[in-house]
Amino acid sequence: MNIDWTEEQRMLAKTLEEFADSELAPKAEALDEKEEFNDAAFRKMGGLGLLGITASEEYGGSGMGAIEATMVMDIFGARCASTTLSYLAHSILCVNNLYENASPEQKKKYLPKLISGEHIGAMAMTEPGAGSDALGLQTRAVKKGNKYILNGSKTYITNGTVADTLVVYARTGTAKKEISTFIVEKGFKGFRVGRKLHKMGMRASPTAELAFEDCEVPAENLVGHENDSIAHMMRNLNIERITISGISVGIARACLAYSTKYASERSQFGKPIGQFQMVQERLAEMATNTAAADALLYKCAKAFAAGNRDMSLGAKAKLFCAQIATKAGLDAIQILGGYGYMKEYPVERYMRDAKLMEIGAGTNEVMRLIIARELIPE
């Protein structure tokens, strides 16, 4: 990892590696095959203070920042990207979102249980007709007395089947930017979890459709003020894109490690395949790309931690790291040949998991638009 670690960060990295090696890596293959959530490991993260890594100690959090959150994604992502994706949805999309935007009363009510691991969190933004166009969402909230009535649907919601507390975006006006944030509990009348979605990769991270059918949300569960949630979205999207890039770098690291080991052990034509120049070329490029992605990732995380809120930070990290991870997965499969295509070897899972990183939290195409607009303002 290309950064000058503090003593505390080195200790954190050691703790993360030990936990991931014992609780995540041994179960990754089986959970991927069965499409099952690693609930036991997730709850244990609460005991380590990881589920509220960016929240203050006042609510049970660790009081750390973007660098440490990125470290978790990176180290965990190399062992089990699926569980790490669910961790991101909980710790960044839900907990960090509430910590940054909720009222003191809301934080006191919801954060302790989320941070301890007693409750699992999620965030619901994407809809069937509003993916990259986040401002095109149609879920609507209308205030009636001391409640808001929500109607609409969400899709591709990470942790949707297991979440106890959800941060939900809904339209509260007629203008495109008149969007508000609500805290929804799984037991609220009119809230229903729809079908679980079956995916190519990240299969141990549950993804679902959600339905709001005259869903009754107490007025005090409005986060901030009506129609001011664009700022909430943008603030959280930036740290989401930086930290989720850690998963991409972790996957690339895993691909490199496994491919290098395999190339040293597998022989063809009387010698290890690692001695063939074409295999060496792929390994050399994978190592260089991974190192470059690592450097960019932690540079962006460090800048964010220092107060830089330029949206291109997350866009650059996510675009480059996601591309590198997918290429690493494909190259790892090619190095292993027929074995790489078999489920008995982990590289095909690495590749399937990596591909989502080019889609979720903003597609590669949207990341390019964000970066280009910084270069050439409209």
Residues 269, 173, single domain; the answer is: no
Q: Which of 23, 68, 240, 358 is catalytic?
A: 240
Look at residue 222 and tell me if it is in a domain.
Answer: yes
Based on the domain organization, do 95 and 215 belong to the same domain?
no
Residue 75, in any domain of the structure: yes
State pLDDT tens for residues 251-262: 999 999 999 999
Q: pLDDT at position 299, please?
A: 96
- In a shared domain, residues 146 and 220: yes
What pLDDT was estimated at residue 229? 95
Which of 165, 199, 227 is the C-terminal boundary of a domain? 227
Check: CB of residue 35 under 8 Å from CB of residue 204: yes
Whether 2 is covered by a domain: the verdict is: no
Domain boundary among 82, 98, 119: 119
251 and 291 both lie in a single domain: yes
Which pLDDT score, from 0 to 100, does residue 1 have? 55
Q: Are residues 249 and 317 in the same domain?
A: yes
pLDDT recorded at residue 377: 84
270 and 150, same structural domain? no
- H/E element, 258: helix 229-265
Place of tokens 């609409």: 152
Q: Furthest-apart CA pair in the chain: how many Å?
A: 79
Low-confidence ranges of the chain (pLDDT < 70): 1-3
Domain boundary among 179, 208, 227: 227
Is 240 in the active site? Answer: yes
Contact 11, 49 (CB under 8 A): no
What would the DSSP string read from start to end of 74-102?
Answer: HHHHTT-HHHHHHHHIIIIIIIIHHHHHS
Number of domains within the chain: 3
If asked whether residues 41 and 132 sit together in one domain, one would say no
pLDDT score, position 134: 85
pLDDT for the residue numbered 367: 97
Run of H or E residues at 124: strand 121-124
Residues 218 and 250 occupy one common structural domain: no
Helix 229-265 to helix 311-336 angle (10° resolution) is 20
pTM: 0.97
Q: What is the CATH number of the domain that holds 320?
A: 1.20.140.10
pLDDT (tens digit, 9 = 90+) per residue, 22-51?
999 999 999 999 999 999 999 999 999 999
Residue 258 lies in a domain: yes
Quick check: is 41 in a domain?
Answer: yes
Q: Which domain holds residue 326?
A: 230-375
Q: What is the pLDDT of residues 200-225, one digit of tens each?
A: 999 999 999 999 999 999 999 999 99
* Shared-domain flag, residues 104 and 139: no
Q: Where residue 68 sits, what CATH number does that domain have?
A: 1.10.540.10
